[in-house]
Structures are given as C-alpha cells and as structure tokens.
Structure 1
Amino acid sequence: MHPIGSRKRNQPAPPHAVYAALTNPDRDPTRPWLILLSDEQRPTILEHNDPDLVIWSSLWPKHTTARVRFDLPTDGRGGTDLRWTLYIDTPNLDDSAIGHLRYRLNT
C-alpha cells in the first residue's frame, strides 16, 4: 500500500467523540455527515484502537484496494488533530483519479 494523500485538520471535539463518529457515522440521524456520492459505498471498519485510530475500507467500488487511515491525537486543548491518510495499491492510477480521491476526503 502506498500513501497518495494526507491532511491534518483540527476538530474541536475530543478524540473519543471523533472516534465514535468515524466508527458509527449514523449514530446521530439529526446530524448526518457521511453523505455518500453516487460513485461511493459505505466503508467498513478494518482496524480500530479506541480512541486514537480508525482504518476504513475503500469508499470507492472502482478502487477496492484503497484504505483510509484516521489518526486521532489530542490537540492538548481538548480537541483532536485529525489526520487522514489515503493508501492505495492500484498500479497506474492517473493524477486526475488521485486528485478526485484526495479532494473527496478533504470534504
């Protein structure tokens, strides 16, 4: 698996709350946040370590080897410095496809 993108963003919620949201995206039906696009599928949890790590399977049926790793360290102020890293093992993935996958994870 090769990393093809990574980004860190601060979230005001503590790591245990971000972990809960990533491991159960439908837990609060009044605040949906994982809105899948037409070319996406619901990921499964491949690995997790409460409250600092979640690894999802691919969101994209066209890219079944993709994995999304979420690292959830505390920011020292009660929030989370969420970092996602996208891994893929698809040979010859063009720049446009990589850009699409990265963009999607940024939103």
Structure 2
Amino acid sequence: MEPEFVVWSSLWPDRPDDEIRFDIRPTPNGCSLRWTLSTPGEAPEQAVLGRLRYRLNFLINAQLRFSFGQ
C-alpha cells in the first residue's frame, strides 16, 4: 500500500506545535502533492504567516525544482 500522507513536525523552534501535512494522490502521470501548514489556536499575524509560507515554499518547491535542474 502506498502512503497517502506524510506529516512533518514544526520547522521552527519558536513554533513547536506547527505541523506540515503532505497529501499524496496518484494521477495518470505520476502523483500530485498538496501541503498544508497547520497552526493550533489563533492564526499567526500576516507578517509571521508570510515568513512561514516563504520558508515552506523555498524548502518544498524551490529545492525540488533545483533537484531537477530547473
């Protein structure tokens, strides 16, 4: 059985309860990947949220593109 999701613990020492969930679904051409950042309690301020999104986008998307030489 193939995995359907993976959960990372927080990447930020000052936000230990955050989680990143990766949902993996098969497609005719391979698979699709969707990631979701979960933060317990109230949503962080927009400036904090922007930094969290930027870091995740770099780690997940940019590093993946670099690995394929793009």
On whether the aligned pair clears a TM of 0.5, the verdict is yes
Higher fraction of helix = 2
Unaligned runs of 5+ in 2: 59-70
2:59 matched to 1:104?
A: no
**Number of equivalences:** 58
Root mean square deviation, CA, Å = 1.8
Percent identity between the aligned chains? Answer: 41
Specify whether residues 98 and 50 from structure 1 end up closer, same or farther in structure 2 by C-alpha distance, changes over 3 A only: same
What TM-score comes out, normalization by structure 1 length?
0.48
Partner of 2:21: 69
Cα distance in 2 for residues equivalent to 1:57 and 1:84: 13
Counterpart selection for 1:84 from 13, 32, 35: 35
The answer to which structure, 1 or 2, has the higher relative contact order (CA under 8 A, 6+ apart) is: 1
Q: Deviations over 1:57-82 (max 9, x none)?
A: 101011111010000101211x2211
